[in-house]
Amino acid sequence: MNLTLRQLRYFVALAETGSFVRAAEIVHVSQPALSQQIKEMESQTGLRLVERQPRRAVLTPAGHELLTHAKAVLNAMDALEQAARWQEGLGGRLSLGVIPTIAPYLLPVALPLIRSRNLRLELRVREAQTERVLDALEAGRLDAAVVALPSGRAGLVEEELFEDRFLLAGNSATLAGQGAGLRPEALDPGRLMLLEEGHCLADQALEVCALRRTDTRVDLGASSLATLSGLVAEGFGFTFLPELAAAAECAASPNLALRRFGAPEPARRIGLLRRRTAMDDGWFSGLAQILREAGQTRLAQAPV
């Protein structure tokens, strides 16, 4: 038996997506090419690894067993590659995943900091929702990720960067009468607007209000904070806006009004993650410090 690393990567992608089409997209090959490699793996092992159903691919018991070993081999190879890549701290090539409610606000401050310190770092950024970022990190397609904590994933190292408090956003008329001591659970759920499902920020907003998505009557499924901020600035209800985004969104939407909640203020914790098996000779803490400084700079710019 002579399985290749390429075949193992194809197999892991298929196992994680449950789809030959989506797996092929992730590993950047055609669907027939990926399917042929999986068949070749089954031929070499003498085992049926995948049940090919009309709308999905499901691993057999033998497939699940192989998946465990495949991940272990790929993690070990990733550690070897990083050992060669990170010889002198923060340098080389790094793939960083960032969720959409953080990326447009943190990266414009963080990237100049990286350049100003003459770090030999080729940074590749992927912006995606939390689950996709974490899946890519675990699979080795990303070196690190910036998400809201906790991730809920075993095998990841988490370093907290900063606390990002939630503000109530709307326009002056919408927020009239919302003064000191404002509490999330006292808000009218019928006027609360949320990001579309899949964004952890929407789930966090519901949690601090002790609500379910079905409790809200205004749900336009906005895909970005910029869209949501523009809508509430024009009087379409109100929403939760992270303090990290406050300066940028107020500049983009002049009618946007903000109010702080009473103590204890609801907040999310932002952190940097890596795989526990990944090599770390200082690059992780070095990157964390830069992102922490960038975050504190952004938070200090909040207009309220």
Q: Which of 40, 55, 84 is the last residue of a domain?
A: 84
User: Are 269 and 160 found together in one domain?
Assistant: yes
List the CATH number of the domain containing 199: 3.40.190.290
Query: How many domains does the chain contain in total?
Result: 2
Q: Per residue in 96-120, pLDDT tens?
A: 999 999 999 999 999 888 877 756 6
Q: Per residue in 4-21, pLDDT tens?
A: 989 999 999 999 999 999
User: Are 95 and 46 found together in one domain?
Assistant: no
Query: Is there a contact between 40 and 51 (Cβ–Cβ < 8 Å)?
Result: no
Q: Per residue in 201-217, pLDDT tens?
A: 766 766 766 555 444 44
Q: Which of 56, 84, 112 is the last residue of a domain?
A: 84
Residue 78 dihedral angles phi and psi, to the nearest 5°: -60, -40
d(Cα 47, Cα 63) in Å, to the nearest integer? 8
User: Are 95 and 41 found together in one domain?
Assistant: no
User: Among the ranges 78-87, 117-126, 240-249, 279-288, which has the highest mean pLDDT value?
Assistant: 240-249
User: Are 156 and 289 found together in one domain?
Assistant: yes
d(Cα 238, Cα 231) in Å, to the nearest integer? 9
User: Are 261 and 182 found together in one domain?
Assistant: yes
User: Are 64 and 106 found together in one domain?
Assistant: no
User: Are 55 and 78 found together in one domain?
Assistant: yes
What pLDDT does 217 receive? 45
Residue 297: which of 148, 109, 23 has the closest Cα? Answer: 109
List the CATH number of the domain containing 41: 1.10.10.10
- Print the domain residue range for 67: 5-84
Round the average pLDDT of the chain to a whole number and report it: 84
User: Are 48 and 123 found together in one domain?
Assistant: no
Q: Which of 22, 56, 84 is the last residue of a domain?
A: 84
